[in-house]
Structure 1
Amino acid sequence: METRKTKQEVQQRYNGAVKRRKWEDPPEDPEAVKNFDPASRVKRRKSIILLGYSGVNYFGMQRNPGTKTIEEDLLRAMLKQNWINDEGFRQPQQIQFQRAARTDKGVSAAVQVVSIKLPDNLDVEALNSELPEDIRVYAVKRVTKGFNSKTNCDARTYTYTLPTIAFAANEEKVDINAYRLPADRLKRVNEVLSLYVGTKNFHNFTSRKEFLDPSVKRFIMSFECETPFVPEGSMAEFATIKIKGQSFMLHQIRKMVGLTIAVVRGLTDSAIIEKAFGQERYGIPTAPGLGLVLSRIHYDKYNKRYGEDGCHETLEFEKEEPAIQEFFKHHIASTIVETELSSNSMMEWLEKLPLHSYEPRDENEPSEWKPRNRKDDNDDDDE
């Protein structure tokens, strides 16, 4: 049994009478030296990676074996640049990898934030050279030890860009290149969007959620359609809807947009929105995923608490704004317009929209969405 040190022995150590054991390096193993991983013993600090991506050619942000995802390409590039080691690549949770929002198949992000433990003095441009053109890392920033990009997020802003012909009356026959959204119709769109603002029960705007589930109550801060525009090189008019909320469930935004289009086109009355917040089940049409973009991640509380402590930067990304706008313009906005005009995803969806039923649905009627093998599909975030 180990005996406790006497007061005298403790004092001798503090006075230097008892020397500390000198550290001796273990004998070199040639094989171990040969296989040494330089990323394995580097001191790591909690950081964030600020990035953007065009999701058109990807099956979402979250890593999913056998599919092309943003995380897979990002982690592989980080491994090549020794930002992470093999263990971090195989099990990102070991280096506290956490995305701020999970985007689904085809959905893009002008701004996405990943919190992770990383070494200091990293070369962002070298990492970008390993990434495909549709993924761009803007910056790496130090954050507090306990920072989590998801749980520290106060709000998220998404945009949804679509051809304005989606808001034409259902019986109106007009060419996509000739249609221009009248001012009074834009006003009508915003009147309908305003019905979603506030704390509502969105159980009908996602999948596999019940009315009494506390997680279906979500707070929408703003929801507005901006002034229409004609993109460079296009004859068709487009508009961008911007929505800001604390958090969103799977498919929630696309269903909100889908039902808004149905109301504005005259396929159902605006009263359906208030009914959908109630206990009865309704089948809500889901707009195509192409136009949806994660636009901003908001960290207001974090910035207020740590942004002026002299040790940490605010997470407002003003310095990176020019790079964000450039990437958005050339790799996201242009891709949305080009893909829409070539694939006609919105036009094909509009053709089927009149077939949708807006009557209360039987509890046993199957959902239009088929569940996938993913953990916590509804735990944040839309698309």
Structure 2
Amino acid sequence: MTDISPSSAAVHQDDKGNKRPLDEELSDQQKKQKTESGEQSKRLPKRKIAMLIGYNGKGYHGIQINKEVNTIENEILKALVKTQCIPQEHADVPQKMSFQRACRTDKGVSAAMNLLSLKVIIDIENLLEKINSHLPEQIRVFGYRRTTGGFDSKNYCDNRTYMYICPTYAFAPLENIVTDEYRMTDGVVEHVNKMLARFIGTHRFHNYTSKIDAKEARAKRYIISFTCGKPFIRDGCEFCVITVRGQSFMLHHIRKMIGITIAIVRGNCGEDVIDKSWKPERVDIPKAPGQGLCLEQPHYDNYNKKYGTDGIHAPLDWVEEQDEINKFKEEYIYSDIMKTEKDEKIMMEWLGTLQHHVFDFVNDKDDRDSRFDKKRFLEKCKRDVSRFTINYEESIYNMKP
């Protein structure tokens, strides 16, 4: 007689005669449906590629993957899953696809060109178009190249170029009233370039970051070039572009080099502060606003020399994508940086904080940038009208002797 009791009805017999609960069978079916796209991805071959991306960092907490906040890589991984370039499990654990970025950018910092290395499925029609359709307009994938199996976008990167778009009134002398009407002379440009040249070469930059001691090997960095270009006018405000190329940079490294350069050229301190900064003791160095900072390009000269002409791999020079890159930079990065500065006067506001720096040796725990309270500073300025006057309607700062 056939057993039709509840206990027998709730089991399933496989080909080998083994029994297991029916609810487990249903669970397996559900799992199969959920992972259908992932299993399809696993069946197709994955290739190691270098993926070129660009982005405006406004509204994002940097590039690096972080499940707690919104980041650039979070957006890109979601787009890759939707395009079926990678399974969800690789997005959850990027190490499974050898994921790496060339350069890490902090909160709000943009990149005209940054490079990711990863293993993905590329046998998809209109791949770039499909990926970009799942991305916000301020994040773009410009292209990709097949690479060697061991390629790592961070470790293979020879050096990086960053730029800083700066309103030229940042270099106005202390005795001047700071407004958009300020125009940078050739002499000031020469002075800025003279100060920037002081950083070229190998130095211990422990005073240009945080939580790194002068004795540590990672404090030593190599700067290849550091220049200020000719000023130009955009919507009535004059700007200049400061370009720095170095082997690698630390947290706040570039912003502090530019911060002390501005302070010296304005007259807040002397050039000797740079000499002091090379010494082991902690020196008070101001940190320029992050608003104007942008990663321009990571460089792969040695990789291109070794593999770019082997007839198998294409060089990572991105010549074909250059027009699209330039268009994106102008529409989503450069114009946004300059418009934000003109509307919000971020640099102008920061200039008022320089009076709180001592530009000298300080206690290791005396971090003036982190202790600075913008609200309290503005309230103090309103009270202390004998030394500092703020015109809130026109955002004009005027230092009196």
Match of 2:329 in 1: 328
Match of 2:122 in 1: 120
Q: Distance in 1 between matches of 2:367 and 2:232?
A: 39
Match of 2:165 in 1: 161
Deviations, residues 313-363 of structure 1 (Å, cap 9, x unaligned) = 101111111111000000000100111111211111011112211120113
Match of 1:200 in 2: 203
Match of 2:71 in 1: 69
Alpha carbons of structure 1 residues 161 and 366: separation in structure 2 relative to 1, 3 Å: closer
Deviations, residues 129-169 of structure 1 (Å, cap 9, x unaligned) = 11001001000110000000000000000000010000111
Match of 1:8 in 2: none
Q: Distance in 1 between matches of 2:31 and 2:70?
A: 34
Alpha carbons of structure 1 residues 353 and 31: separation in structure 2 relative to 1, 3 Å: closer
| 2:342 is the counterpart of 1:341 | yes
For the Cα contact (< 8 Å) 1:202–1:277, is it kept in 2? yes
Deviation of 1:41 (Å): 2.6
Q: Distance in 2 between matches of 1:285 and 1:365?
A: 12
Aligned equivalent of 1:188, options 164, 186, 191: 191
Q: Distance in 1 between matches of 2:353 and 2:366?
A: 20
Deviation of 1:170 (Å): 1.5
For the Cα contact (< 8 Å) 1:207–1:367, is it kept in 2? no
User: What secondary structure sits across from 1:40 in the alignment?
Assistant: helix
Q: Distance in 2 between matches of 1:296 and 1:132?
A: 21
Q: Distance in 1 between matches of 2:362 and 2:33?
A: 65
| 2:124 is the counterpart of 1:135 | no
For the Cα contact (< 8 Å) 2:357–2:368, is it kept in 1? no
User: What secondary structure sits across from 2:233 in the alignment?
Assistant: coil
- Identity fraction in percent: 43
Match of 2:17 in 1: none
Q: What letter matches 2:108 in structure 1?
A: G
Equivalence map 1:266-345=2 (5 Å): 266-345=267-346
Q: What letter matches 2:284 in structure 1?
A: G
Match of 1:98 in 2: 100
For the Cα contact (< 8 Å) 1:98–1:115, is it kept in 2? yes
Match of 2:226 in 1: 223
Deviation of 1:32 (Å): 6.7
Match of 2:113 in 1: 111
Deviations, residues 158-185 of structure 1 (Å, cap 9, x unaligned) = 0000100001112211421x11101101
Q: What letter matches 2:55 in structure 1?
A: Y
User: What secondary structure sits across from 1:141 in the alignment?
Assistant: strand
Q: Distance in 2 between matches of 1:77 and 1:299?
A: 26
User: What secondary structure sits across from 2:96 in the alignment?
Assistant: helix
Greater C-alpha Rg: 2
Deviation of 1:42 (Å): 2.1
For the Cα contact (< 8 Å) 2:63–2:104, is it kept in 1? yes
Match of 2:174 in 1: 170
Structure 2 gaps, min length 5? 1-27, 372-401
Deviation of 1:110 (Å): 0.2
Deviations, residues 100-122 of structure 1 (Å, cap 9, x unaligned) = 00000110000000000011234
Structure 1 gaps, min length 5? 1-28, 371-383
User: What secondary structure sits across from 1:264 in the alignment?
Assistant: helix
- Taking structure 2 as the reference length, the TM-score comes to 0.82
User: What secondary structure sits across from 1:269 in the alignment?
Assistant: coil
Match of 2:50 in 1: 48
Deviations, residues 287-331 of structure 1 (Å, cap 9, x unaligned) = 110110100110000000000111101011111111110000000
For the Cα contact (< 8 Å) 1:207–1:369, is it kept in 2? no
User: What secondary structure sits across from 2:341 in the alignment?
Assistant: helix
After superposition, the CA RMSD in angstroms is 1.4
Deviation of 1:264 (Å): 0.4
Equivalence map 1:344-355=2 (5 Å): 344-355=345-356
Q: How many residues align?
A: 339
Deviations, residues 189-211 of structure 1 (Å, cap 9, x unaligned) = 00000000000110000000001
